[in-house]
Amino acid sequence: MTVGSRQSAIELESRYMMQTYRRLPVEFVLGEGARLYDAQGEEYLDFLAGISVCNAGHCHPRVVEAIRDQAGRLQQVSNLYYNEPAARLAERLATSFEPGARVFLCNSGTEANEAAIKLARRHRRGGEIVVLEGAFHGRTMGALSATPQPDKQEPFAPLVPGFRVVPRDDPEALAAAVGDRTAAVMVEPVQGETGVWPISERMLLAAREACDRSGALLVFDEIQCGMGRTGTLWAFELTPVRPDVLTAAKALASGLPVGACLAGRRAADVLQAGDHGATFGGGPLVAAAALATLDILDDDALLSRVRVLGDRLRVGLEELRSAGRLSDVRGRGLMLGADVPAELEGGAPAVVARALEEGIVLNAIGPLTLRFLPPLVITDRDLDQVLDFLREAL
């Protein structure tokens, strides 16, 4: 018997994979730009981008070419030796952050945050890490301990000790929580997984001030909101605040697994030989894909277009809000969230299901919130298609 020969991916998965995900009943087989195609050949407009991963669009020719080229040369050598793509990626990321920065390369967002947590603990031994309500920093035990969501944390207790939670928008509470026993304050400039919540400027300023006063490190998790998503390469560039440490992943290699922990001058030399490592971290194949992705996304014309498109999408959503068909709209650039009215039957998941039937990939984050994370290469017509759908569906 040929294993898997006639069964669909849906049948095979439900039998053989741990059922850790609630998937929608579609099997995608092809992607190009902002378009996806399913196993039946149906076309979809993608407004999720693999949850802010395919920011450069699906299978961008420059990324495909870089992967092909590197795959035929060298794929892995271990971190006992040097490799050029990793070194060039580190240079590129460090210089995008600040002079004197250094980078640790790993394989995912949660790993990038683990690196930041270890770095913070090395910076101030035994120190506490302050996180915000509504944060999502990942699923491994350290990053999970920084993710104050009872449904995600409680089944896995005991967690890593030394994390303290403050409200998302209470600068006084944040200032009071940070002292000379604090190792770091960890913030997503725009929270992604709990409904798209931009953190207010006064909160970010309070975090910066508290870290300066106490000697703690300010860590920005830009895993979802970075890499051009907000219309600047890094989301912090839209704010008056510069973090000491920044974590990135998701869009960095257009879908190949990668994570990066960027440490600015103050923190660049905290982690030393033997303190941390990852077999696959900085592998040449992924690094080549990341370099090609940065060539596409770290581009002034593309970033200014993201701001224009983000404004257009926001205006369209605001019109729906004024008409009472949405109850709230928020976000930055092409990272927007919109709440549907509580009385809408089926809530946001019903809108997403209907969109899928009409060939649009949307996302519901919670029962009432729609999240918009399109590839950054969408056209005006793509945007109109989604707004037309929403006008009709809501």
Ligand X SMILES: Cc1ncc(COP(=O)(O)O)c(C=O)c1O
186 binds ligand X (CB under 6 A): no
Q: How far is the CB of 260 from ligand X (least distance, A)?
A: 11
Q: If binding is defined by CB under 6 A, does position 230 make contact with ligand X?
A: no
Minimum CB separation of residue 44 from ligand X in Å reads 21
Its sign, for the CA torsion 101, 113, 136, 172, is negative
Given the structure tokens 């309500």, which residue do they identify?
133
Query: Side by side, which strands form the sheet with 245-248?
Result: 102-106, 259-263, 245-248, 217-221, 182-187, 128-132, 163-166
3-state secondary structure of 15: helix
Q: With the CA atoms of 353, 356, 361 and 364 taken in that order, what torsion angle do they form, in degrees rounded to the nearest 10? A: 0
Of 113 and 182, nearer to ligand X (C-beta) is 113
Query: Does the protein bind ligand X through residue 283 (CB under 6 A)?
Result: no
Nearer to ligand X, 127 or 257 (CB): 257
Q: Hey, which residues are catalytic here? A: 136, 221, 250
Establish if 223 lies at the interface with ligand X (CB under 6 A): yes
Of positions 46, 114, 188, 382, contacts ligand X by CB under 6 A? 188
Q: What are phi and psi of 352, to 5 degrees?
A: -65, -40
Q: Minimum CB separation from ligand X for residue 99, in Å?
A: 26
**Spatial distance between the Cα atoms of 284 and 29, rounded to a whole number of angstroms:** 26
Please report how close the Cβ of residue 129 comes to ligand X at its closest, in angstroms. 14
Q: How far is the CB of 199 from ligand X (least distance, A)?
A: 12
Distance between CA 284 and CA 84 in Å, rounded?
7
3-class secondary-structure state, position 140: coil
Binding residue for ligand X, selected from 134, 142, 162, 192, defined by CB under 6 A:
192
User: In terms of C-beta density within 10 A (0-12 exposed, 13-18 middle, 19 or more buried), how is residue 394 classed?
Assistant: middle
Confirm or reject binding of residue 138 to ligand X (CB under 6 A): yes
- Got the DSSP string for 153-199? HGGG-S--S-EEEE-TT-HHHHHHH--TTEEEEEE-SEE-TTS-EEP
- 348 φ/ψ angles, rounded to the nearest 5 degrees: -65, -40
Residue in the shown chain whose Cβ atom is closest to ligand X: 109
195 binds ligand X (CB under 6 A): no
User: Closer CB to ligand X, residue 117 or residue 249?
Assistant: 249
Applying the rule CB under 6 A, the residues between 20 and 79 that interact with ligand X are 51
Residues 313-352 that bind ligand X (CB under 6 A): none
Q: How many residues belong to the site for ligand X (CB under 6 A)?
A: 15
Q: Check binding of 235 to ligand X (CB under 6 A).
A: no
- Specify the residue, 48 or 177, whose C-beta has the smaller distance to ligand X: 48
> Is residue 110 part of the contact set for ligand X (CB under 6 A)?
yes
Q: With binding defined as CB under 6 A, does residue 136 bind ligand X?
A: yes
Tokens of 169: 């928008």
Task: Please pick, from the candidates 58, 102, 123, 137, the single residue that binds ligand X as defined by CB under 6 A.
Answer: 137
Name the residues that contact ligand X, by CB under 6 A: 51, 108-110, 113, 136-138, 188, 192-193, 221, 223-224, 249
